[in-house]
Structure formats: structure tokens, C-alpha cells
Amino acid sequence: MKRLNRAGKGFSLVELMLVMAVMAMIATLAIGAVAQASKASREKRIEAVRFTLYTALINYKAQVGTWPVGLQPKRKEDTTVSFSNEENWQVFDPLIPRKGTKKGSYFDASAVLTKINGKVMTVQEAIEQGKTPIPLGYADPKDQSKFCYFDVSFNLIADTVSVNR
């Protein structure tokens, strides 16, 4: 059998294009997988912080004997009292450790986010800068440029609390 003799010993343009197309497909799949894993990680972190705040409220009630905020329903027939969006600072403020006080630390202030005057920072940073009030929240896992706040609801009949996204 006779072989075709190439002028150069390199790859043809078609071979290079084929390799580039395969590499592009592999890169696209890898980038998609990394983005999905990153979003799942953000979701799990938010859920962990939500559970931490719930546990902090339960611990506060167990140690002090009352919830950290007065619970007055807006109407007599209401069975729940809710604090949503930036109002949640009223619930969490007594749980936030402050310098120079003997308050117990109910959660890690460096692991929870707040947004004050348009700037997202950790609760620890807000404390160090003397910021108040400090509402607690998280960056939206679908759109990191959006900031969301935890909602807190107290069931007056069951004397229970829930922290939601």
C-alpha cells in the first residue's frame, strides 16, 4: 500500500478544528457542572444559616424563658406574629453578641450576612463598625446581586417559632 506523503508533518486544519470542537464541548459541560455545584453549595449554606438562627432562637427561649421580642398580634384573631424583611432585626438583635456586654453568643456573627445602607457585610463587620439595626439575610443563590432577608414567625397558640427564606 502506498501512503500519501504530506508536505509537512503537522496536523491538517480539519483535524485541528475537530479537536477544538471536542475541547469546547468538554469545557461547556465542565462549566455547567461547576455552576450547578456552586449554586447547590450556596443553597446549603443558606439552609445551614437558617437552621442556626432557628436554633439560636430556641436556645434563647430556653435560657431566658421568653422569646427575644414582645409578641403582640395585630388583630385579636391572629394566631401568628411575623417579622419579615428588614423587620427581622427586632427578633435577632438580643441574640447578637455586643462588645462590652455579658450577653451570650447564640450564633457565629462572622457566618451570617446583613445589608446596611446598601452594603452587604457579615454581622461581625456590622458590629465592629457600630451599625444598627442589623437585619439578617443572605445573597439570593440564583442572583447573587440580590439580597434577601429571613422571615421569622411565632405561633402564639403552640408557642413555637419558624425561620424561613
Domains held by the chain: number = 1
pLDDT at 72: 82
Instruction: Give me the chain's average pLDDT, please.
Output: 89
Residue 135 lies in a domain: yes
pLDDT at 5: 59
Q: How confident is the model at residue 153 (pLDDT cuts 50, 70, 90)?
A: very high
d(CA 149, CA 129): 20
Q: Find the domain containing 32 and state its range.
A: 13-164
Residue 6 lies in a domain: no
Residue 99 lies in a domain: yes
Residue 7 lies in a domain: no
Residue 5 lies in a domain: no
> pLDDT tens across 25-82, in order?
998 888 888 888 888 999 999 999 999 999 999 999 999 999 999 888 888 888 999 9
pTM of the model: 0.78
Residue 37 lies in a domain: yes
Task: Kindly give, in sequence order, each residue whose CB lies less than 8 Å from that of residue 111, ignoring residues fewer than 6 positions away.
Answer: 49, 52, 122
> pLDDT tens across 87-106, in order?
999 999 999 877 766 666 78
pLDDT at 21: 93
pLDDT at 38: 86
User: Do 127 and 110 meet the contact criterion of CB atoms below 8 Å apart?
Assistant: no
pLDDT at 68: 92
Using the Cα atoms of residue 83, residue 146, residue 114 and residue 162 in order, give the sign of their dihedral: positive
